[in-house]
Amino acid sequence: AGPARSGALPDAVRLFADRARAVLPSFEVTEDNAEAVALLCRRLDGIPLAVELAAGRLRALSVEQVTARLDDRFRLLTGGSRTALPRHRALRTTIGWSHELCTVQERLLWARLSVFAGGFDLEAAEYVCAGEGIEAEEVLDLLDELVAKSVVLREDSAFGVRFRLLDTLREYGGQWLRAAGEEPRLLRRHRDWYLGVATWGEVEWFGPRQAETAERTQLAHGNLRAALEFCLAEPGEEQIALLLAGTLWFYWIGCGHLGEGRHWLDRALALDREPTEARAKALWVTGYTATLQGDLGFARPALEECRRQALNTGDDRALAHAVHRQGCVALVGDDPDRAAELFEEALWHYRTIGELNSNVVMAMLELGLAYLFQGDLDSGELWFGQARELCEEHGEQWAYGYVLYAMAYSHWLDGAVQPARMLARECVRLNHLFRDLLGIVLGIDLLALLETEPSRPGEPGDLREARVLQGAAHRIWRAVGNPFLGSRNFFGPHQECAERALAGLSAQEYEECYEAGTLLDLDAAVARALGGGGAAEGAEPVPDPRAVPPTPAPSAVRNS
């Protein structure tokens, strides 16, 4: 039951097609079914025996039906050639034969490792799996033996060696874990570890290791999901679910997972209405995500409930966040006067409790935007400058990307097109570093508008390139959910650009350039915006979007 090695998936697809023709002579992998076949082979980890047995099921099931039944793969994947060795006639039997070759402690570790949903590192395995038969210092040697037996895969990452169980072997180990009665204890230890990962990530988010924190949290994504699912399904764990979902605000919002974050938060909030600190945090985080999704009708009551609860319970931190996010609702809802009042109140609360993090920086730049949208560019620039200084002092990059967007917007309003371009490009680059789709698309839309401006006095803008960037932005807006579609201020650059392009291009050019942009995937769209194709003359080379810059604010931007 050896694991699929690198590049094994095409081999698995060929094996599946070959074995499928043995039971259905007319079977071929075509354009219509290629994706379904590849998905099935991935779900089977490319294990040759599993692929063969799945192909044999095509006598009675379609490819999609086989895939849908893989949650009980050991019952589904039985049979095989009557002349094969007995241990090769069913997947369970084959893996069981490998299981028998393991020592008692190796089998125990195999079973306990089944609680990990995806990759894990040695430290996680030692914490979660040690105890009652396995000492922490024994985990390394046992893990090494399981890697040697191809039960566990070893994977290299930017953070050192990581490990993974194939889904098929994980399910087998999980059956043994349940049979031993150990599953509840192991799931709680797993939950505790990943609550720690989330908590430490929140602490490290405001600082020079922010990009590393984003990547580490991304590596833990599958396990964080599993921990949340456990808390939501297990009676008595509801408050931990609220705490975990709320603590991950930096990941949901900063790394492009708004929809998923909202899903977990709303489920947790529906399970427990006790007015605790954990619930208050989940309320302002879900109100924040809803605002960024454009769902102001949901955000308003959630944030008002958070504010009321905070006042009733004396939770000053939740009060600061609730007022802050109410300011965001007003800002997106085109009420900059009210937004400014709320941001100023939130900043007063933050100062009173000694809070300083990415949220405080965002409140500063959002207050600056409120002034900007009122037409007060000077006050806006003052707040942008304060936010920029804090980012540079602490090595903050995510909020800094939004500071750059605000500064670029202000420069455009002030007629400083070239500095605005530089700032907007760096905004896109930094947001792409974190895969923050909202920050990326705001920057690309602003860059599209800036393309309509002359590069030099007397030269026309590049309306065709502007329209290509608008098409690219449209594809990203769809992924985000068009949250600012109704906002005059945030969606204004898009509308202004479209009007200019419509006035200067033929109807055919207007549509063709837009369609060309919609064909660009996220990475291609970012490269285009940064100067990778058809960009304004003099654009800088496209930086590696995953490279951490030596400082949060390149000198070219600081001196603009």
**Cα(72)–Cα(92) distance, integer angstroms:** 11
pLDDT at 231: 97
**Cα(491)–Cα(499) distance, integer angstroms:** 13
**3-class SS at 560?**
coil
126 and 260, same domain (yes or no): no
Residue 393: HSE in the Cβ half-sphere, 13 Å Cα cutoff: 10
Question: Is residue 155 within a helix (H) or strand (E), and if so which, with residue range?
Answer: strand 152-157
451 and 341, same domain (yes or no): no
In angstroms, the Cα distances linking 476 to 51, 122, 494, 542 are: 37, 37, 13, 19
Give the end of a domain, one of 69, 91, 113: 91
192 in any annotated domain: no
382 and 402, same domain (yes or no): no
**Cα(42)–Cα(37) distance, integer angstroms:** 9
Q: For the CA atoms of 489, 494, 497, 499, what is the dihedral angle to 10 degrees? A: -90
270 in any annotated domain: yes
420 and 515, same domain (yes or no): yes
Helix axes 221-233, 210-219, angle to 10 degrees: 60
Residue 132 lies in domain:
102-181
- What is the tally of structural domains in the chain? 4
257 in any annotated domain: yes
376 and 451, same domain (yes or no): no
Main-chain phi, psi angles of 160, to 5 degrees: 105, -170
**Cα(181)–Cα(285) distance, integer angstroms:** 36
Segments in 354-397 forming alpha helices (H): 358-373, 377-394
Question: Is residue 153 within a helix (H) or strand (E), and if so which, with residue range?
Answer: strand 152-157
Tens place of pLDDT for every residue, the chain, 560 residues?
444 433 445 778 888 888 788 778 878 888 888 888 888 887 777 767 677 667 777 767 788 887 777 665 555 555 544 444 444 445 555 565 566 667 889 989 999 999 999 899 999 999 999 988 899 999 999 999 888 887 888 898 888 999 988 777 888 889 889 999 999 999 999 999 999 999 999 999 999 999 999 999 999 999 999 999 999 999 999 999 999 999 999 999 999 999 999 999 999 999 999 999 999 999 999 999 999 998 999 999 999 999 999 999 999 999 999 999 999 999 999 999 999 999 999 999 999 999 999 999 999 999 999 999 999 999 999 999 999 999 999 999 999 999 999 999 999 999 999 999 999 999 999 999 999 999 999 999 999 999 999 877 767 789 999 999 999 999 998 888 777 777 888 888 999 999 999 999 999 999 999 999 999 999 999 999 998 544 333 333 333 333 333 333 333 333 33
420 and 541, same domain (yes or no): yes
**Cα(218)–Cα(155) distance, integer angstroms:** 15
196 in any annotated domain: no
DSSP 4-33: P-TTHHHHHHHHHHHHHHHH-TT----TTT
For residue 476, what are its two tokens? 């990203």
Can you say whether the dihedral through the CA atoms of 407, 412, 416, 418 is positive or negative? positive
131 in any annotated domain: yes
Which residues neighbour 146 within 8 Å (Cβ) at sequence distance 6 or greater?
Answer: 102, 106, 109, 110, 113, 152
264 in any annotated domain: yes
Domain with residue 299: its CATH number is: 1.25.40.10
pLDDT at 116: 97
Other beta carbons within 10 angstroms of residue 404's beta carbon come to 28
157 and 284, same domain (yes or no): no
Give the end of a domain, one of 334, 365, 392: 392
Give the end of a domain, one of 181, 215, 232: 181
pLDDT at 454: 85
Q: Which of 262, 263, 267, 277 is nearest to 241 (CA)?
A: 267
Which residues neighbour 330 within 8 Å (Cβ) at sequence distance 6 or greater?
Answer: 336, 338, 339, 342
**Cα(402)–Cα(405) distance, integer angstroms:** 5
383 and 279, same domain (yes or no): yes
pLDDT at 56: 72
199 in any annotated domain: no
107 and 36, same domain (yes or no): no
Q: Which of 280, 286, 293, 294 is nearest to 266 (CA)?
A: 286
pLDDT at 350: 98
176 and 242, same domain (yes or no): no
Main-chain phi, psi angles of 436, to 5 degrees: -85, 100
**Cα(379)–Cα(215) distance, integer angstroms:** 36
Q: Say which DSSP state 90 is in.
A: B
**3-class SS at 165?**
strand
137 and 73, same domain (yes or no): no
**3-class SS at 158?**
coil
pLDDT at 71: 64
pLDDT at 98: 60
Q: Please state the length of the chain.
A: 560
Decide if 162 contacts 219 (C-beta within 8 A).
Answer: yes
pLDDT at 317: 97
Tokens 């007060």 identify what position?
Answer: 376
Q: What is the CA 48 to chain-centroid distance, rounded?
A: 32
For residue 390, what are its two tokens? 């804090």
For residue 292, what are its two tokens? 């960024």
Domain with residue 174: its CATH number is: 1.10.10.10
3-class secondary structure per residue, 207-265:
CCCHHHHHHHHHHCHHHHHHHHHHHHHCCCCHHHHHHHHHHCHHHHHHCCCHHHHHHHH
**Cα(501)–Cα(509) distance, integer angstroms:** 9
**Cα(175)–Cα(182) distance, integer angstroms:** 10
Decide if 46 contacts 9 (C-beta within 8 A).
Answer: yes
Question: Is residue 299 within a helix (H) or strand (E), and if so which, with residue range?
Answer: helix 296-313
35 and 142, same domain (yes or no): no
Decide if 243 contacts 195 (C-beta within 8 A).
Answer: yes
Number of helical H runs and strand E runs in the chain: 30, 2
Angle at 497 between CA 493 and CA 502, to 5 degrees: 155
